[in-house]
């Protein structure tokens, strides 16, 4: 059985980079780090929320700056797939909010490699409660 360090050694560099970006995205969401999102979202970014609402980049940035009601978020599963200069990050995580309600989130983020950097062009999130 390989350790995480050994797995990182054999994991391709671009997959390591996308996994790092995913972890940073999660951190930025929980801390309201609008600057991170501003630097990493494509100009035509769009997010589809669980309720079906659509947030374009500017609306998403405003929402990202609001206080997060989660007290805990843990990534449970992350899968990265590449299709040329496009990457899909499919992941799920477990969360607990301030009212001690537990839930899960499943999401797919689409990244495009452009201008020597990965940018998020799309995010789709599903958050069913598991109380």
Domains of the chain, earliest start first: 4-126 (3.10.450.50)
Which distant-in-sequence residues (6+ apart) come within 8 Å of 103 by Cβ?
Answer: 94, 95, 96, 97, 127, 128, 129, 130, 131
Residue 10: per-residue pLDDT: 65
Task: Retrieve residue 88's tokens.
Answer: 């899909």
Residue 68: per-residue pLDDT: 86
Which distant-in-sequence residues (6+ apart) come within 8 Å of 110 by Cβ?
Answer: 86, 87, 88, 89, 120, 121, 122, 123
- Indicate the DSSP class of residue 66: S
pLDDT in single tens digits along all 131 residues of the chain: 444 544 555 679 999 999 999 999 999 999 999 999 999 999 999 999 999 999 999 999 999 999 888 999 999 999 999 999 999 999 999 999 999 999 999 999 999 999 999 999 999 999 876 65
Nearest CA among 89, 72, 116 for reference residue 25: 89
Whole-angstrom distance, CA of residue 90 vs CA of residue 131: 23
Residue 79: per-residue pLDDT: 98
Residue 8: per-residue pLDDT: 52
Whole-angstrom distance, CA of residue 2 vs CA of residue 23: 21
Whole-structure pTM value: 0.87
Nearest CA among 111, 126, 129 for reference residue 52: 126
């Amino acid at each position: 059985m390989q350790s995480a360090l050994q797995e990182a050694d054999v994991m391709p560099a671009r997959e390591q980079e996308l996994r790092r970006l995913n972890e940073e995205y999660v951190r930025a969401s929980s801390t309201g780090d609008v600057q991170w999102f501003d630097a990493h979202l494509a100009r035509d970014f769009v997010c589809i929320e669980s309720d079906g609402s659509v947030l374009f980049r500017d609306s998403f940035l405003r929402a990202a700056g609001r206080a997060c009601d989660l007290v805990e978020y843990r990534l449970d599963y992350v899968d990265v797939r590449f299709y040329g200069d496009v990457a899909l990050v499919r992941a799920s995580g477990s969360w607990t909010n301030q009212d001690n309600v537990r839930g899960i989130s499943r999401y797919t983020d689409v990244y495009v490699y452009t201008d020597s950097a990965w940018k998020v062009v799309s995010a789709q999130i599903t958050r069913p409660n598991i109380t």
